[in-house]
Amino acid sequence: MPQGPPMPLPTTIKLTPGKRVLFLTKDLDLIKKQLYEGLNLRMADLKVSDLLDDINTDTMTPAWVCFSHKPEDLALDAYAGLFDKAGERVFKYRALIDGGFEVIVSGQRKGTGSSRETAPQAEKWSGINLVIAASFAPIHERNNINLGQLMGDHEQLKRLQAGETLKLSEFTGKYDPVTRATLEAGGLFPYSAQVAKGAIKPPKNATTRRAMTMAEKLIATHLVPGQGEPFVKPGDAVLVNVDAGYSHEFTTAQVHYFLQQEYGEKYTVKNPSKFAVFEDHLLYATGVKRFAPFEGKINTLRSLQTEFQKHTGVRDYSAKNGISPGICHQVAREHFIDPGDFVQATDSHTCMGGGSNSLAYGVGATEYAGLIYSGFTFVAVPQSIRFNLTGKLQPGVTAKDVMLFILDTFAKKEQTLDRVMEFGGPGLASISMDERATLCNMATECSAKSGICEADEVTWQWFKAKRKLDDKQLAKLKERAVAPDKDAKYDGGVHTIDLSSILPMVAEPGDPTYGKLIEKLGDVRIDIAYAGSCTAGKADDLDYYATVVKEATDAGLRVAPGVKMYLQYGSEDVMAYAKAKGYPELFAKAGVDVINPGCGACIGCGPGVSDTKEQTTVSAINRNFPGRSGPGRLYLASPLTVAASAFTGKITAYRKGMFAKR
């Protein structure tokens, strides 16, 4: 049911008689018994390890649920992406709403994956007032705060179930003053309204001169005037000017709807020239059989985005003649994300812009609506973790393998959680700009706040060529770059990664953190090899694919019998690059299906999606949550591995000359 206008949170928290607590247990039958048989459980009788970890936002609101842009409609299919072993939905239509629940409980890292705010909206508009977890993914946690959705831990739940009444401050006291005030006011919009009326005054930042990380330095240079000296430390609550941002047809409709609801039909936005809309995520959705019932909703999303773009005058990257200009993250870095920029957009892979020495990360529709209207946003200064890169990658190893190593080594232990991953060191100079974009793109898979790379000569040569800059323009761009101070403090530590020690890896089906060396994987036969996405549809990635395909075709090979290989460009610029190099003809000779720019199989919307749970895919995309790209088993791998596997018919690490005739 619709929840009505946001209200301030009560000063005390207690369980409501007649309302229930839903435990998302690893035993899915127990969830069903709670939903449909009235079973009630108690935290005192459970362990945290009994609860589901890494519940991702795809599970909470799968892509097709997000075709609705009104929160009350999303709630009808909350958790529609959680399936049992038989492939049946655990949460049927209206299951969460009709269960009479006010608390929902899970284990570690609640809300990993996409930045979609639809996930907490579905819970809130189902009647959930309190979300319990051991830890939360950073974007998801922020979305809850912006909605005025209270979060707590398992010990607090034990006390509530024992009949205690807890002070609100026990839940909100851990936050900085602005976050606390936002949550207690009932969310971002009511907080902003109170600030505008003078009822709430944001605190002045008291931090003085100190050594800073790249993220801290960039935030400090973007402080809204009047907040104190240009120095910050982790945990500081500050207002920050936003340089650039974007939304896409999956999210723009909500942004437009929320702005109309809050500020009226004639609302305006700040600095539209560096904000944009993209038609990339749902371009191929109308060709997907399972999405046919939602064609009307998809068209509504498209038309509302067009309405928003015309109303605001932001950059327009709509599809022309059925061809998208490309995936938002890739096009943004090509066209308008600059070094030193602070970037916010409605997608979790916004952090890809960090490869260009910007601080970029995803936000929900509510937060984006607020910042595009005002030109600034609230930031709780994040901690950082530093990765010093040394050496050089071996032949056959790519930045994707580096990230799979980091996921398996650091993210699994939550060392990257809610921190900015800073990349530097002498080894960075051996990594191209496209590969740096891969490093930062997958920071979100690490549940990090973002990723950012140091700027160097590689950076400047790429910008000079990409943007066709003269020396004066390039010098101006260099002035914006940020570098870490020598004595900067890293709460996540400083870690050295010898690039020469990295070996080809995959992430096994289910989660990007399930890393494994290919040499220890065994014989994994494949049905689909998917090459593309924002992570792996860049110019360098096309070079990787072409290298393997040329070697194979020179040896007289085509894609292995029974295997389909799909290759999708990340942008029009990448497609033009590939055509200039003669790649389309090469790929056609090998039997590769080439797809125009845009998102596709990565979000289950396009060629390359598995059809049955028996199929196995090796894919260059960034996440492999169950059902993300069809019902089959999905392995993540590098572009080189994906291409090599397409010709061998099984997951295979690429080695130069491996297809040479003998």
CATH for 567? 3.30.499.10
Contacts of 53 (CB under 8 A, 6+ apart): 106, 107, 108, 109
pLDDT at 549 over 90: yes
pLDDT at 5 over 60: no
**pLDDT at residue number 6:** 63
Summarize the confidence of residues 25-31 as an average pLDDT.
98
Q: Is the dihedral of CA 60, 62, 66, 67 positive or negative?
A: negative
Summarize the confidence of residues 289-304 as an average pLDDT.
88
Does 258 lie in the same domain as 301?
yes
CB of 538 closer than 8 Å to CB of 573: no
Summarize the confidence of residues 606-612 as an average pLDDT.
90
pLDDT at 662 over 70: no
Q: What 3 state SS string does 435-485 have?
A: HHHHHHHCCHHHCCCEEEECCCHHHHHHHHHHHCCCHHHHHHHHCCCCCCC
pLDDT band of residue 193 (cuts 50, 70, 90) is: confident
Does 232 lie in the same domain as 131?
no
**pLDDT at residue number 601:** 84
CB atoms within 10 A of CB 470: 8
CB of 570 closer than 8 Å to CB of 538: yes
**pLDDT at residue number 285:** 78
Summarize the confidence of residues 604-616 as an average pLDDT.
90
Cα–Cα distance, 442 to 354 (Å, whole number): 11
> Residue 80's closest CA among 65, 70, 66?
65
Angle between helices 177-185 and 138-146 (to 10 degrees): 50
- Structural domain tally of the chain? 4
CA 519 to the chain's CA centroid? 29
Q: Give the DSSP letter of residue 423.
A: E
Domain boundary among 466, 501, 536: 501
pLDDT band of residue 291 (cuts 50, 70, 90) is: confident
Summarize the confidence of residues 230-234 as an average pLDDT.
97
pLDDT at 1 over 70: no
Looking at the domain assignment, is residue 205 inside a domain?
Answer: no
Does 468 lie in the same domain as 421?
yes
Residue written as token pair 């937060």? 367
Cα–Cα distance, 489 to 420 (Å, whole number): 12
CA 302 to the chain's CA centroid? 21
Contacts of 181 (CB under 8 A, 6+ apart): 191, 200
Domain that holds residue 90: 12-195
- Share the mean pLDDT of the chain: 94
Looking at the domain assignment, is residue 126 inside a domain?
Answer: yes
Q: Is the dihedral of CA 211, 215, 221, 227 positive or negative?
A: negative
Domain boundary among 501, 529, 563: 501
Q: Is 113 left (phi over 0), alpha (psi -120 to 50) or beta?
A: left
Does 291 lie in the same domain as 238?
yes
Residue type, 16: T
Contacts of 90 (CB under 8 A, 6+ apart): 28, 31, 32, 35, 79, 82, 83, 84
Does 155 lie in the same domain as 60?
yes
Does 566 lie in the same domain as 490?
no
Q: Which segments within 502-602 are labelled E, that is strand?
A: 505-507, 515-517, 528-531, 564-568, 593-595
CB of 418 closer than 8 Å to CB of 448: yes
Does 417 lie in the same domain as 271?
no
Burial of 243 (0-12, 13-18, 19+ CB in 10 A): buried
Does 643 lie in the same domain as 561?
yes
Looking at the domain assignment, is residue 223 inside a domain?
Answer: yes
pLDDT at 240 over 60: yes
Looking at the domain assignment, is residue 189 inside a domain?
Answer: yes
Does 527 lie in the same domain as 467?
no
> Residue 246's closest CA among 197, 166, 312, 292?
312
Angle between helices 177-185 and 188-197 (to 10 degrees): 100
Burial of 553 (0-12, 13-18, 19+ CB in 10 A): middle
> Residue 638's closest CA among 559, 545, 553?
545
pLDDT band of residue 465 (cuts 50, 70, 90) is: very high
Does 226 lie in the same domain as 126?
no
Pairing of strands 342-345, 244-248: parallel
- In which element (H, E) is residue 315 found? strand 315-317
- We report the CATH number of the domain holding residue 493 as 3.40.1060.10
**515 pairs with which residues across the strands?**
507
**Furthest-apart CA atoms within the chain: distance in Å:** 79
> Residue 356's closest CA among 439, 268, 247?
439
**pLDDT at residue number 643:** 98
Looking at the domain assignment, is residue 525 inside a domain?
Answer: yes
Does 227 lie in the same domain as 166?
no
pLDDT at 2 over 60: no
Summarize the confidence of residues 176-189 as an average pLDDT.
92
Residue type, 100: G
Looking at the domain assignment, is residue 415 inside a domain?
Answer: yes
The predicted-structure confidence for 310-341, as pLDDT tens digits, reads as follows 999 999 999 998 899 999 999 999 999 999 99
Q: pTM for the whole thing?
A: 0.88
The predicted-structure confidence for 354-386, as pLDDT tens digits, reads as follows 999 999 999 999 999 999 998 999 999 999 999
Looking at the domain assignment, is residue 656 inside a domain?
Answer: no
Q: Give the range among 70-84, 191-205, 508-522, 584-598 with minimum mean pLDDT.
A: 191-205
Domain boundary among 444, 471, 501: 501
Looking at the domain assignment, is residue 661 inside a domain?
Answer: no
**pLDDT at residue number 145:** 95
How many helices (H) does the chain have, and how many strands (E)? 23, 24
- Please report, rounded to a whole number, the percentage of residues in the chain having pLDDT higher than 70: 99
pLDDT at 435 over 90: yes
Does 367 lie in the same domain as 408?
no
